[in-house]
Amino acid sequence: MNMKIKINENYKNLKKSYLFSEIAKRVKAYSEENPSAKIIRLGIGDVTLPLTRSVTEAMTKAVAEMGERETFHGYAPDNGYDFLREAISRHYKRFGVDIPVEEISVSDGAKSDVGNITELFGDNPVLIPDPVYPVYYDSNVMSGRRISFIRADETNGFLPMPEGLSGEGYIIYLCSPNNPTGAVYDHASLKRWVDFAVSTGSLILYDSAYEAYIHGNFPHTIYEIEGARACAIEICSFSKTAGFTGTRCSWTVVPSELSAGGMSLREMWERRQATKFNGVPYVVQRGAEAALSDTGYAECMELVGYYMKNAALIAGVLREKGIFFTGGTSSPYIWMRCPSGMDSWSFFDSLLHGIQVVGTPGAGFGECGEGYFRLTSFGSREATEEAVARLRGFLQ
């Protein structure tokens, strides 16, 4: 039944994403030919440790409240309960940053906010790092915007910088620590981006979903940088901080200062959410609040510590072998150069067939990802140790 309605023709410009289905296909074929092979997956982009005790206790209590008339909660405020917005505001104080509660809106995921916030904007030129999380690109293809890539490579340590860019009024995506490269902007580099955005009247959409993995003196939030309130929206998530990938909670900060075309971006975002979103479950918001309490946050840091020990093991063997990589010290991701000039799918096959370790070919994250490979630290300690031992024997 071909209807007479017009569709959003931009959808025809989306490329089909083959990355994870192609990985699954190759792994399946190998397993079928080698049924006794013990395959280790270091390609997982999802957490595997359970929710912490503070979180499950808060959620269990909240479920009980929802089951009693006196403590039942109906529609939540569109932007989140104040108890959670206040907890997030306090969380920013851990980094010496003041964010007023009214600038924080709670939602169901960074992916949702990263995609949905583009609705506020007109036809601006968009700058997207390459390689990067594919959602930035796809959501802008859907709205037909002009996209330019800012190239990340070994010369810039996989941290693209603004120098050399001309033009103004950009929408700029930055993700630090980066997915998939694990590279992290330091204060000085991020300041150059903020200065560029301010001087060109551009907007930075700053994805800090991996900030909890930062080790050492790197900015956890773009608002540590002077001038950022005049040019940046920050999107952060409980997914990787508190293991909430299957629990769904995130937040977005839109500073009150931000305006364009005579409109407050914060008011536009609030209107967008009030019209097309109905809040995050009460039970989840109570869990998220607990994750940011002092006890809850210490538990989160234990989860992060577990993964980061895995990352250190992987990074260790690459260092031993003198292989270039980024990430692994402030990120659960390790982004390594494929040895012997191999392309990333060839290296994928060689690891799978040679030592039964599965990772993610860098080419799947953009043109600049060719020749690189992503390993992740979200596996178990045992599996990671075994994979590292196999890599030690395999890599030259």
Segment 83 to 112, residues that bind a copy of itself, using CB under 8 A: 108-109, 111-112
**Which range, of 2-10, 180-188, 299-307, 340-348, touches a copy of itself by CB under 8 A?**
2-10
Q: How far is the CB of 124 from a copy of itself (least distance, A)?
A: 5
247 touches a copy of itself by CB under 8 A: yes
- Residue among 259 and 340 whose Cβ is closer to a copy of itself: 259
Distance, in Å, from the CA atom of 111 to the CA atom of 324, rounded to the nearest integer, reads 30
Angle in degrees, CA 216, 222, 228, rounded to 5: 140
Token pair for residue 389? 């031992």
Q: Structure tokens of 377?
A: 């630290």
Of residues 143 through 172, those in contact with a copy of itself by CB under 8 A are 168-171
Smaller CB separation from a copy of itself, 174 or 317: 174
Phi, psi of 104 (to 5 degrees): -105, 125
Residue span binding a copy of itself (CB under 8 A) among the ranges 66-74, 84-92, 98-106, 322-330:
66-74
**Min CB(323)–a copy of itself separation in Å:** 29
The token duo for 20 is 């994870």
Distance in Å, CB of 183 to a copy of itself, minimum: 24
Q: Which is nearer to a copy of itself, 36 or 75 (CB)?
A: 75
Alpha carbon distances (Å) from 272 to 11, 101, 209, 277, 278: 22, 18, 22, 8, 11
Residue number, 52 or 329, with CB nearest to a copy of itself? 52
Q: Round to whole Å and give the CA distance between 196 and 199.
A: 5
Q: What is the closest distance, in whole angstroms, from the C-beta atom of residue 261 to a copy of itself in the complex?
A: 4
Residues 155/194/288/86 CA torsion (nearest 10 deg): 160
Rule CB under 8 A: say whether 60 interacts with a copy of itself. yes
# of chain residues touching a copy of itself (CB under 8 A): 89
> Does the footprint of a copy of itself cover residue 9 (CB under 8 A)?
yes
x/- mask, a copy of itself, residues 296-315, rule CB under 8 A, reads: --------------------
Q: Give strand ranges (E) for 242-316.
A: 250-253, 259-260, 263-264
Nearer to a copy of itself, 82 or 168 (CB): 168
Stretch near a copy of itself under the rule CB under 8 A, chosen from 18-26, 242-250, 325-333, 348-356: 242-250
- Touching a copy of itself, residues 112-131 (CB under 8 A): 112, 114-116, 119-124
Q: Write down the least CB distance from residue 146 to a copy of itself, Å.
A: 12
Residues 273, 79 contacting (CB under 8 angstroms) = yes
Return the residues of window 219-238 that contact a copy of itself according to CB under 8 A.
230-231
User: From residue 251 to residue 290, what is the string marking binding to a copy of itself with x (rule CB under 8 A)?
Assistant: ------xxxxxxx-x--x--xx--xxxxxxxxxx------
SS3 annotation, 207-221: ECCCHHHCCCCCCCC
Pairing of strands 203-207, 171-175: parallel
Residue 222 near residue 230, CB atoms below 8 Å: no
Compare residues 148 and 278 and give the one whose CB is closer to a copy of itself: 278
Query: What are the angstrom distances between the C-alpha of 188 and each of 170, 194, 208?
Result: 21, 10, 17
b/e code 192-219 from CB counts within 10 Å (16+ = b): ebbebbbebebbbbbbbbbbbbbeeebb
Of residues 342 through 371, those in contact with a copy of itself by CB under 8 A are: none
Per CB under 8 A, contacts with a copy of itself among 193-222 are 198, 200-203
> What DSSP letter does each residue of 352-375 carry, written as one string?
HHHH-EE-EEGGGG-GGGTTEEEE
Q: Is the dihedral of CA 363, 368, 373, 377 positive or negative?
A: negative
Q: Of 86, 138, 195, 224, which lies in the binding site for a copy of itself, with binding defined by CB under 8 A?
A: 138
Question: How far apart are CB 337 and a copy of itself at their closest, in Å?
Answer: 28
Interface with a copy of itself in residues 24-53 (CB under 8 A): 46-53
Structure tokens at 132: 């990067």
